[in-house]
């Protein structure tokens, strides 16, 4: 991998890695980490109403693994499914950073994906705030 330029063949793989693509991929990872935290927050706040949310947590990982591109590249899904998957919050976890890193997606697609991911961050933060507020109202402390 070149320090500042592109490399067409690296470890036998055809890819176009540049400083910009690495920086864009890293920014995806940062936003993905934040989004993962916010999804986790929402799931765990459901514990105000449910006895155990472990299964929701596992279900979340199942969804991320198939709809985020961990089990399969999203490019192998049918075109209509890809259009839907692009709008869901899971793509930023694997598909977007990997494809940006490999140079398959340019700055425009990266910006669009990041915008959507940030939108999902805001949505989950709002839902989390609502659940926290409602949960505290109905929480019954032991010994208080």
Partner 1 sequence: MWRYLRLYLSFLRFSFSRAMEFRVDFFFRVGMDTIWYAIHLTLFTVIFRHTGLLGGWDFDQCLIFAASLFVADAIQMTVFSNNMWWLPIYVNKGDLDYYLVRPVSSLFFLSVRDFAANSFLNLVLATGILIWALARYPEPFAAGAIVVFLLLLLAGALLSYAVQMIFIIPVFWLQSRAGLREISWSFSRFGSRPHRIYTGWVRRVLLSVLPYAFIASYPVHMLLEGMTGMRLLHTFAIVLGAMTFMIWFWGRAVRSYASASS
Give buried/exposed letters for 51-80 (b at 16+ CB in 10 A, else e).
Answer: eebeeeeeebeeebeebbbeeeebeebeee
Closest to partner 1 by CB, 58 vs 126, is 58
Closest to partner 1 by CB, 3 vs 78, is 78
Instruction: By CB under 8 A, name the one of 4, 52, 80, 144 that touches partner 1.
Output: 52
Closest to partner 1 by CB, 36 vs 77, is 77
Instruction: By CB under 8 A, name the one of 55, 87, 111, 115 that touches partner 1.
Output: 55
Contact residues: partner 1, CB under 8 A: 49-53, 55-56, 58-59, 62-63, 65-66, 71-72, 76-78
């Amino acid at each position: 991998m070149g320090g500042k330029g592109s490399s067409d063949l690296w470890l036998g793989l055809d890819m176009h890695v540049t400083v910009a693509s690495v920086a864009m991929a890293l920014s995806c990872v940062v936003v993905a980490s934040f989004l993962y935290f916010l999804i986790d927050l929402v799931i765990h706040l459901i514990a105000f109403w449910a006895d155990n949310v472990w299964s929701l947590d596992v279900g979340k990982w199942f969804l991320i693994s198939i709809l985020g591109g961990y089990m399969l590249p999203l490019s192998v899904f049918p075109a209509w499914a890809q259009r839907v998957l692009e709008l869901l919050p899971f793509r930023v976890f694997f598909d977007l950073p990997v494809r940006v890193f490999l140079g398959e997606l340019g700055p425009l697609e990266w910006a669009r994906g990041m915008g959507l991911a940030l939108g999902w961050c805001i949505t989950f933060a709002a839902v989390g705030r609502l659940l926290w507020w409602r949960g505290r109202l109905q929480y019954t402390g032991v010994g208080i």
